[in-house]
Amino acid sequence: MVWIPGFGKYSPRLGNRVGDPAPDFTLVDQDGGEVTLSAELGHKPVVLVFYPMAGSPVCTRQMCSLREGWPELMSKAKVFGLSYDSVEALRRFKENEHLPFPLLSDPDKAVAKLYGVDGTFAAARVTFVIGIGGQIQAVIENVKAGDHAKQVLDAL
């Protein structure tokens, strides 16, 4: 994958690697509701899908892959998409693409920084799988947009 300056690039460090406790956070979803990671843990693994920009062609392909794999994904995990986009942009993206999972707004890049995927203009395209106990179980760095649901299912 080609890295573009200004876009995030995964920087593994203590706190965002496989085996580390996942950094907790609270963000607002596309409807303005708060989502706190620690409150989502316990019953199923949590999948955090960082992506650069709602509505861009590659991001749309990636999110639609997750939508197509949703019946199996939802039985195995809770999925959240995260980007720097505004709540309104996320709401439109979710509606336009009929995405069945919440999209979280990280406009201050705070959560992207915690997970080491922040960039000046956009977060890196990286997915984290967090186990029910709160440990990072997998980091998917080489995301294949059109086949991302399979990548996530394989990691679960």
CA–CA distance from 143 to each of 56, 128, 152 (Å)? 15, 11, 9
Q: Given the residues 27, 47, 48, 59, select the one marked as catalytic.
A: 59
CA distance 51 to 58: 9
Task: Find the DSSP H helices in 30-145.
Answer: 37-40, 57-68, 70-76, 87-97, 110-114
Is 64 designated active site?
no
CA distance 104 to 84: 8
Active site residues: 59
